[in-house]
Structure 1
Amino acid sequence: MTKSKKQKQKKKDFLKKKLKVGKPTGKPSNSTDTSFTARTLSVRSQLVNNAGDDLRKRLPLLKHHNDKVRKETLGIYIKAIPKIISTQLMTPLISQTSQLICDDSKDVREQLLELFDEVGKHDEQVLKLHCRSLVLYINMGMTHILPRVQADSTKFLGCLLKYCGQEFCDQAWNKLMAGIFRVLSWETQHSKNSNQAAGAMQTSKRDNKFQAAHLSTLYALLECGCKEPTVETTDEDTTSNIQNFEEVQYMTPSFPQAYGYLKLFDKQLKSSSSNKDNSSVSSSDALDVESRIRNVENVYLPTMKKQIEQIIQEGGEAGKNANNIKKLISEIFS
């Protein structure tokens, strides 16, 4: 091909075609014929069956740096709970959302509280299976450096006590009681350090508006841990229970981690002498109601009575909750 022919072909690309009236325009060279018809059209990336995969792909968004993205992702999971409650997606969902108990954003924490409540309404066994990690992050929230995270930690505890209160009391009774006392800035029999007392006086003025919520959570914890659960049984049930007592011992337990108190697979760290004074009763010694009542009487009851009387005199919503705790204490220790 000569040089003149190449130049002519290049010029054709830049020439403007003249349009004539009544004559159609010419089709371009790269046009596609779309005159065919099809009965079905399948697009693999838009199948309805891949809804679970889409939710699984959204899990990393729970760790996004933008708090609005984290809140919107939690809202999507709240709407999808009825569909995914019995799927394998719940395990990674609870394990990743439990970390948001210590989130800096208030909107994210409120959305997370709604998520836990929605999961508990549909299947409380899901929360019971993850109660160990939930207790860990609630305890972290109670000792958080940010006051607003500390204040909301008792809201999560109060919500989860409705669905897995017995498991919480069996596994971490001492930690939860000490955490609520720390949030309320109350001293126990074992905290006699003057620095702690000075810090408590400063935080008590700052957290007065959250005091009513903390007291209602304390009431729920005492009621769940120090009162025997009321179960209505008939005479036929009692006779059958006596006959099948030996069989029940060898059957699958009705609650998760039935032998967790034995700590067969837990690595325990050696505690120093200073830490021994702060916990008079270990978690394995607070598995039944009697031991928990004994623990409250020896460690928390004197301070509780003293502080409750002062709050009742101040009145308000906190005074009502304190009065309820006073009635509960008199009922337990009567």
Structure 2
Amino acid sequence: MGSSQKRKKEKQKDFQKPKLKVGKAKAKPANFTDTTFRSKAIVLNQQSLSTNAPTTSSQFSHHLSLLSSKSDTQRKESLAHLTTSVASRPVDSPLPQPVSVMIPKLVPLLLDASNSVRANLLKFLKTLPTADIEAHAAQLLPYIRAGMTHLAADIRSSAVEVLGWLVETAGGEVVSCPGGWIKTLNCFLSLLGWHTEESAKWSSNRSSFGKAGSEGRPMVKALHALAEFLRAGISSEEASIQDGSAAAAAEHDTGVEFFPIDLSVQQNMIPERSAPYAYLNLFGQPRDAEGEMYESREDRLRVFGDMFRKAIERGADNARKEGGEVGRASAAVFKVLRETRSES
């Protein structure tokens, strides 16, 4: 009997509810399996196990690759490192990377949403050699034009600032590259709202420049950039300066001043520009009128008179009537128009 009662109690034990006491953890079941584990990690201060420090070129390439990072801070810091590397290099020393390698990774940042990234990008571009900027002006312009017609006001303002610097650095290349003349002028008209007579009268048709738009400061910046662009493209003074510098360069290279009797001597010399026959478009896609190259001042002046002069004169006149800084800035545009009115 004793053994039967013992077996009966053991069977009832499985169906009894244990009494929980306050402050004590719940008892674990008999078939509980502990699944916790601990892992050991090795933390390295550097990504490379090499004892040798990375070279300047490898660091430059590394930060160049970080320009596509998703972090705004990382892109800004990488641009700051690139700017310091280029600005602090010895005089007449080559760049850590060719500009042809850097430009494709830099131009998308012209449309970056971060103001600090765009500001650091402009600082870095200003450290590059002028000759390299002139050779790659055609690659910068499409992104600048996209920025000038962007929905964000800050990006439009930054694009105008970059265009002003590019015209100041390589104005001749900007106005003569494929699409550099007609497409850029169309972007200016869209930015300023000067396409038609009705849109030029109403400020609501003008692209907003953000908080400072009411004060006119971005509008002043756009008018100054337009004046410099027109001066580089159709001003007679700019054309005479370019011709004089070309003649001085040719005289310096040959040591001979060309006598006016034989004017074909200069034409038979080795061209100073890269891709001197690019205007023929032998291997590129067919171009329309907007994408053509207008290398001579006469061609640009003819196109300007046929397509843009009336709209720009009308818009500049309305801007002058506004007075203040905007009115004074429009005077620079009127000065260029006045110089070329009799020629177009």
TM-score with structure 1 setting the length: 0.72
Q: Decide which of 133, 141, 145 is 1:139's aligned counterpart.
A: 145
Counterparts of 2:266 and 2:50, CA distance in 1: 51
Counterparts of 2:271 and 2:168, CA distance in 1: 21
Deviation digits for residues 150-193 of structure 1, max 9, x if unmatched?
2221111111112211111111111111111111121159xx9x
The residue number in structure 2 matching 1:201 is 205
Matches within 5 A, 1:166-245: 166-171=172-177, 172-187=180-195, 201=205, 203=207, 207=213, 208-227=216-235, 228-230=239-241, 231=244, 239-240=257-258, 242=260
Please, which moves more after superposition, 223-232 or 60-69?
A: 223-232
Counterparts of 1:85 and 1:325, CA distance in 2: 39
Larger Rg, first or second structure (1 or 2): 2
Counterparts of 2:131 and 2:296, CA distance in 1: 21
Query: Which has the larger helix fraction?
Result: 1
Deviation digits for residues 178-209 of structure 1, max 9, x if unmatched?
111111121159xx9x9x99996263586444
Q: Decide which of 68, 89, 93 is 2:73's aligned counterpart.
A: 68
The residue number in structure 1 matching 2:278 is 260
Counterparts of 2:206 and 2:340, CA distance in 1: 32
Counterparts of 1:242 and 1:96, CA distance in 2: 47
Give SS of 2:319's match.
Answer: helix
Give the aligned length: 273
Give SS of 2:325's match.
Answer: helix
Deviation digits for residues 293-321 of structure 1, max 9, x if unmatched?
12222221112222212222222222211
Is the alpha carbon distance of 1:87 and 1:258 closer, same or farther for their aligned partners in structure 2, counting shifts above 3 Å?
farther
Counterparts of 2:119 and 2:133, CA distance in 1: 18
Is the alpha carbon distance of 1:297 and 1:332 closer, same or farther for their aligned partners in structure 2, counting shifts above 3 Å?
same
Deviation digits for residues 114-169 of structure 1, max 9, x if unmatched?
111221xxx21111221121011112212323222122211111111122111111
Is the alpha carbon distance of 1:60 and 1:240 closer, same or farther for their aligned partners in structure 2, counting shifts above 3 Å?
same
Counterparts of 2:305 and 2:51, CA distance in 1: 62
Is the alpha carbon distance of 1:247 and 1:240 closer, same or farther for their aligned partners in structure 2, counting shifts above 3 Å?
closer
The residue number in structure 2 matching 1:51 is 56
Give SS of 2:207's match.
Answer: helix
TM-score with structure 2 setting the length: 0.70
Counterparts of 1:141 and 1:58, CA distance in 2: 24
RMSD (Å), alpha carbons: 3.1
Matches within 5 A, 1:16-95: 45-47=51-53, 50-82=55-87, 83=89, 85-95=94-104
Counterparts of 1:175 and 1:140, CA distance in 2: 11
The residue number in structure 1 matching 2:38 is none
| Structure 1: stretches of 5+ with no match in the other structure | 1-42, 272-280
Q: CA deviation at 1:54?
A: 1.3
Q: CA deviation at 1:259?
A: 1.2
Counterparts of 1:199 and 1:310, CA distance in 2: 10
Q: CA deviation at 1:90?
A: 2.9
